[in-house]
A and B are shown apart, each in its own frame.
Chain A
């Protein structure tokens, strides 16, 4: 039996004086070791294009001090069709691509049908180094039918001024490999001829991140991040093609796209958060600029509104996005023009703006478990989607994409 210290004896006497002798009382308290978060996520594009059903699980183990282990797993089932890059036409045509069917109907946007499964895992470990600093390390792995990814990352954070200021610096490295079922197509070759090579291609990405978080008051904070990202290797989308058209705008052939084999870009991110007695407003702005000539701005506003003591809340969400086109982006290519080295008709590289409207409803219990339902609508609005070719009159060459995103999540 452990002997009581003098102070222990004093506290025991004080408790006895207050409450009398407490017979048979004991304490059974344990720190909860694991926290789990699970989300069922669905993403559905309009016009029955891409749909994604995803299940995501995350487990966080908190240690005695501040160390923390995070494990994540997600499984996705993707299916549907995405624009191939070929333009719609009034004349029916048939095209095949390495990924399987390309369905082309008169006056409709040519789409590539596909199905894919994705499984991804991640692990992260947070070490407290000293009282005011910590190291976060992690790795990520994912596997799709035609894509593999492996990455490592690490970041260091240091607190200053009573922990009111935190500065962090980190890096990420990833090595990906692209291996389409029917091989890698030969860039800029005629897609109708189906010329492919069989070997897989690789892509490497390096990210650097620097950030500052400043607590302004007990109820507000600002965050500023700068990121540099550099990708090298095979950056094409092996399923994307571009149409060559004659002087009337009739498709003559479709060529596989070709992008530069490197891309480097800068990101600047600023966010400000206000907590007004449980009603939290978050505004953020992100600026991106890269050597493909794409620059983009993202404005994001969320406001969490508490609904009474039981922890119910609603959170409307508004996001506005705007990007310029890549310098090698073309809607289509006149056949009178020499084929440039780099060219793509991928709608994601076009000039467009997009708006997201979202709504979250959450229920939070004092046990620390919380449930949330999220519904978002995304609408992309491309800037250039018409041409003055006779044969393309009345066609929408890039209708953009709209999507409905629904998720239900629980933390326990």
Chain B
């Protein structure tokens, strides 16, 4: 039968006949090699897997390193290490409306613990579509615990961070603020956003202690003279550091949304104004430096100067000729205008440029005002610029420029960041030491001599030098004689000026106690005296004995004012 052959073939295939002994040994050898190779592969696979398992990272270890990349925003510190802005953890209360079965009941239970929302608002939020509804961003630990105890379904708490400003409104304009995502939107928070976002700290040149003194003094004068506001800046003349800068009205950056646009406006750096007579300091310095006039020259100031249908006049008219010093001490507009003609418009413009008055200040802050500069710098422009009209600059620009004229003669770009002790300071010499000496001597006489306009700024012992400035505000393409911006720039101690203070009060109203005067001498000068008296001991400025040669040699020999020998000493 054919299939018997087939079955036989199959059986032989399954159970082959034993081979010959020699062939059998050969087959056994092949089998052994095959088995050995197979076993090797198995063990290699097991070994490989063991190594792979041993070397693999767990999910937890990955997480621990991922967390490191999330850095908290850096802290902003003042020059003495006080915290101006910091990031602290908070808990955000939120709801998942899908998990809430009875919004009425939940809203009623939650309402007493969520002060920013009443029951009805809560209920409408809890019935919203979506899976995330924020209820409160600033949950205190006490309220957090109380909400947890309620055990409400669908109400959850998520950890987050918030930017806080422990000093409140102090230096608010400089520090700025952040948005809800902790991204800088104003001030240092914005200009240094990259650095702060990477977790690094920023140390400012501001001293909060001095900031408080300056702000309080300014606030007091604003209240006393029913003014709209004011601003002030303290500058370190030797380093260009802004020690203090305040603008009133101000705001609390912790509650930014509650502030007005006016309060958020930084009058020190963003606002550009016609500075008025404080520019006469620059005019005098340029005249001396260029040789247009010297200390012995005198100018006839008895006649007003007609200019473009207007008269350049003096607040306190003088008959006859007066010297350069007396022009500054009496704050003569006529005298300053005459000086500007001797200087010439081109030279005046060149100096203004060198003093950083024609371009925005390089201060490390986003709110830097663009100066309003005359397009055509004519003789008339030179006259008005000489007494601070026709050119609008920011207070910080004016302070840096006057620091060069009334200090050591160097222009140093202002900075809001603290300089390290070994950091080189870029200085540009604008005025010679002799010019600077003459200018600071004359500024001292504005305060110390009885014909000066800034007598109320005199703080015995501290040798304050200064200059008053009163500028009429612009109204309908003209000037409003009843609305002034009064300012006072002071340097101290006059024999070796270390600090400059510039304060401005906006639209002060004459009062009974000021005999209805609302000039810089009445409004700002007393504030300067109060500020210097308080800050000088903190800054390590000791009272000066002017009778000592080492102090008096830094000022000019006695100058004749009003026919008499002027005096520098205040005690």
Partners in one complex: no
A positions within 8 Å CB-CB of B: none
B positions within 8 Å CB-CB of A: none
